[in-house]
Structure 1
Amino acid sequence: MGFRINTNISAMNAYVNSSSTSRALDESISKLSSGLRINKAADDASGMTIADSLKAQASALGQAIANGNDAIGIVQTADKAMDEQLSILNTIRTKAVQAAQDGQTSQSREALQSDISRLLEELDNIATTTSFNGQQLLNGNFSNKNFQIGAYANQTVQVSIGATASDKIGLTRFETSQLMAYSDGGIKDIVLKLSGIDGYPSGYEFQTISSTEFEKYGLKAVADRINGVSDLTGVSAKVLNSITFSNVVAAGDIKGLQINGIGIGDVTTVAGDKNNVLVNAINKVKEQTGVEASTKDGKLTLTARDGRAITIKSTQSQANSQLGTGKAGFSVGTTIVGKLTLIRQDARDIVFRMSGCEEVKAISLGAEIITGEMSVAVGTGVTQKTVSLGDMNSGILDKDLAAAMGYFAGGISKTDQLSGVTTYYGAQAMISISESAQKILDRIRSDLGSVQNQLQSTINNISVTQVNVKSAESQIRDVDFATEASNFNKYNILAQSGSYAMSQANTIQQNVMRLLQ
């Protein structure tokens, strides 16, 4: 071994190793004190890049979860408001049912309508004041709203809430035919078809109505077929078979009077039936005929309460003038089948066809009897309107709107009507319209329920994803304390041994001094 003074190689080696150990010890202390394996890019450049990307993803997922919860809050706010609106509609429908019986007076119906008007005001108030963070939810403007519920662009859920004000819900289509009738014979088996029905691209065909059934029940048989599947088609029907003749009952003898095949016998009438002989004779057998008679201003009204056909016969040709039909063409023997009203609980047109009843005609007691072929909900002579819940609280119903809703019996002139449940027909219409409004709100709530379930499922999924992403980041970025503590102890011992080695390297120089003594 050589002895040198200027260069202490042993000390230099000890210094280099001690410096390396000191750096490693500093890094170990930094990791242990921060809890991170990567404190700077030099610690693990590629690992830091991956960890930073995972950190950004986890942070974005956290905000996406918050966005989803905000969306759920909006949906729940709207849902609770509509729940209260449905409660209001249930009350309105109950009051409409209460008004739809002739035991009510005009005053009691007005009181019920006053209650309904107040309820509709509150329903509209809910629609205009329900909001979230300053945004109106139920006025129709909250449509196609997007919520970012992912870590990356365009990972969104779209939310739309329909308008729930009274003029936007309850949209109901009413289509009413003219008063229909036919003479003896000519009726065939009748085929009915309803087009434009969801799920039936070729239209819905009903069970055929036999000629015998139609001759007995008239349009009531048609209405029964339609109402039997109304839950499936969304279309219901009603028949108003009531006719008021245009002339005053004349004095004279009616021989062999029959209604619906039931003999009433010979009746001697006075002008205007002031002694009620004709009315009493007809009403005496109303349980068998299903037809009830009354007079107003001396004019005879015949009404089939259940909507069945009304066939009048007499062995005397002059019976027309005695009854006051006002038309020579309206021969006794004609069967009156009434007015058919079709109701659809949405705003779409009703396309309905009847074949086999070409002899059924529209009659008018103020003109010639035969005015055209049978046309129900299509063609001329059909009054068609779409009515909202708000229309039923407008104060006055236009006469054409009232006609479309089936307000007027045969022989009654069309006039503007009070809206709401102030009349029997208005109460019946309110029942249908409030039911339609309930279905619309239920549909909106159902859609929101589906959106809420979607949001909740998404939140659950991204919550799990966020945990897994954070776990992956932790595996890269966070320090393993057990491993790092072991490293620290190693470097700590090496640092101590390095210091000892340097001190020993310096003592080697003392051997040179011994040579110089």
Structure 2
Amino acid sequence: MRINHNVTAQLANINLKKTNKKLTSSLESLSSGYKINSAADDAAGLAISKKMRTQIRALDQASRNAEDGTSIIQTAEGALSEIEAIIQRMRELSVQAANDTNILEDRESIQVEIDKLLEEVDRIGSTTEYNGKGLLDGSCTRVVTYDTNGLSTLSISEGVKAGNYEINLTALATPAVNTLSYTIPAEGVSTIYINEASIEIASTDTLADAEAKIKDACDKLDIEIINGSGSNSLTLQTRAKGSSQFIKLEGAVGTESYTQGKNAEYNVNKGGTSDFSNNVICTADGNNLLIEDSSGFKMQIAVETLSADHTSTDTSTTPPTTTTVPAGSSAALGKTVKIAVYDTGSMLLQIGANEHQTMAVDFPEVSCRTLKFKESSGTSLVNVCSREGASKAISTFDDAIRSVSGTRAQLGAYQNRLDSTVASLDISSENITESMSRIIDTDMAAAMTNYTQESVLVQASTTILAQANNRPQQILSLLQS
């Protein structure tokens, strides 16, 4: 038995400190709900949980960004819906104006309403905004530049990636048109030759008989008859102007040449690499060329034309006479159009938690100019003051309705994608939150068990320490005796 050093009391005190520390930690976990309240509790767990916390907050913000994008798209789509309704009304007015029961004053009154509706189309397109940002004024669409060497207009789809493109225009066929003058003979039989097809016209044939014979021959040659400019003239136009063809692209690098339709040949080159899928559909319609594939790539161009001459021989006269007439037109041969597509004008939505996880949204410019209602100078192209003008306006409005409907469909696709994005982000955030919870959140049942155990140990250690401190008193009793 020793007096100077009470080793038993010291051991009891050390154990009491340890137990008290554990009890304090249990109390902290129970009161805060967190298993990790400082780096000392779990250094590795703290580092992992902080990275998870960063990812969760970013995912939640990206989800809100996507929802904001949905609101923007709904704003633009609502404006386009109203524009489409206006165009429908203008088409209805054009149909009314095309009826010859209207006099000039009636058509002028209809024109006044159409002019006001055109102004409203421009107003909606220029003033549709979200948070002060214009949507349909052309400021939120991709920038596309091209030289004017043989190209008059160009439109591209969202599936066309940013980059430089070259299109070599070899030939694009338009319908050949030829006007023939012919007089039914006073007696006997006369023969007309059209593309080596012979048509016999007798003096006894009526005008209807002659027309029927010519029409029958033209139908076999895929030629349609248009009213001629004179009493004895007949205008013929070929129906063949290029057709659709399914083409499989072989190889991914270099320039591939394809011929399709009638007199339609072109080359497509994409900067040494190809973004085309295996199958590409190329469609030629007159001077319009459409290139698209299954991945969403779609580029439509309208090219300038050059006239070609065709020689026709009228063998119904004696002697036969030969005349040269314009037989059609084709795209400028051997010209290369360079097209550059930039994403700088697109609205980019940050729909991911990390860098470059964005979605580009294009809002095309919608105005009377882009819808072909007006020229760039502001001159109206819609005039229903005549039956011919009203009929032309109907076609113009049909094209505009298709354009606006296509834009609305594209915005709907954007919105559906954003809805899926929001759902995916929310699920990712939920899963990461659950993983983080297992690392940092307190298991209340286990913590309460530990707290009870540590509390009992503290009480026991306190009692033992008191007994250990009383041991020197036993030595004093021994000395007194």
Which of 376, 381, 388 is the aligned partner of 2:328? Answer: 376
Aligned-residue offset at 1:178:
7.1
- Residues 159-197 of structure 1 show CA distances to partners (whole Å, capped at 9, x for unaligned) of 99xxxxxxxxxxxxxx8987722555221379xxxxxxx
Structure 2 equivalent of residue 4 of structure 1? 2
2: CA distance between counterparts of 1:213 and 1:189? 18
Matched to 2:135, the amino acid is L
Name the SS for the 2:136 alignment partner.
coil
Structure 2 equivalent of residue 498 of structure 1? 461
- CA 1:133–1:393 in structure 2 vs 1: closer, same or farther (change >3 Å)? same
- CA 1:379–1:503 in structure 2 vs 1: closer, same or farther (change >3 Å)? closer
Structure 1 equivalent of residue 105 of structure 2? 107
- CA 1:107–1:372 in structure 2 vs 1: closer, same or farther (change >3 Å)? farther
Do the aligned partners of 2:306 and 2:331 also contact (CA within 8 Å) in 1? no
Name the SS for the 1:23 alignment partner.
helix
Q: Counterparts in 2 of 1:88-487, with a 5 A limit?
A: 88-144=86-142, 180-183=179-182, 184-188=191-195, 215-216=214-215, 241-244=227-230, 302=231, 312=232, 335-337=233-235, 348-349=302-303, 359=312, 372-378=324-330, 388-391=372-375, 419-487=382-450
Aligned-residue offset at 1:452:
1.1
Structure 2 equivalent of residue 513 of structure 1? 476
TM-score w.r.t. structure 1 length? 0.57
Aligned-residue offset at 1:423:
1.4
Matched to 1:375, the amino acid is A
Aligned-residue offset at 1:39:
0.4
1:26 aligned onto 2:12: no
The answer to which of 491-500 and 104-113 deviates more is 104-113
Aligned-residue offset at 1:104:
2.1
- CA 1:434–1:396 in structure 2 vs 1: closer, same or farther (change >3 Å)? closer
Percent identity over paired residues: 29
Matched to 1:29, the amino acid is L
- CA 1:214–1:468 in structure 2 vs 1: closer, same or farther (change >3 Å)? farther
1:53 aligned onto 2:51: yes
1: CA distance between counterparts of 2:54 and 2:28? 24
Do the aligned partners of 1:180 and 1:360 also contact (CA within 8 Å) in 2? no
Structure 1 equivalent of residue 361 of structure 2? none
- CA 1:242–1:180 in structure 2 vs 1: closer, same or farther (change >3 Å)? closer
Structure with bigger RCO (C-alpha 8 Å, 6+ apart) = 2
- Residues 31-58 of structure 1 show CA distances to partners (whole Å, capped at 9, x for unaligned) of 1111000000000000001111111000
- Residues 47-87 of structure 1 show CA distances to partners (whole Å, capped at 9, x for unaligned) of 00111111100000010001101111111110111011111
Do the aligned partners of 2:287 and 2:331 also contact (CA within 8 Å) in 1? no
Matched to 1:186, the amino acid is Y
TM-score w.r.t. structure 2 length? 0.61
- CA 1:240–1:214 in structure 2 vs 1: closer, same or farther (change >3 Å)? same
- Residues 305-326 of structure 1 show CA distances to partners (whole Å, capped at 9, x for unaligned) of xxxxxxx5xxxxxxxxxxxxxx
Aligned-residue offset at 1:465:
0.4
Kindly name which structure, 1 or 2, has the bigger radius of gyration based on alpha carbons. 1
Structure 2 equivalent of residue 86 of structure 1? 84
Name the SS for the 2:328 alignment partner.
coil
- Residues 233-278 of structure 1 show CA distances to partners (whole Å, capped at 9, x for unaligned) of xxxxxx752535xxxxxxxxxxxxxxxxxxxxxxxxxxxxxxxxxx
Structure 2 equivalent of residue 202 of structure 1? none
- CA 1:506–1:118 in structure 2 vs 1: closer, same or farther (change >3 Å)? same
- CA 1:490–1:471 in structure 2 vs 1: closer, same or farther (change >3 Å)? same
Calculate the aligned-residue CA RMSD, in Å: 4.0
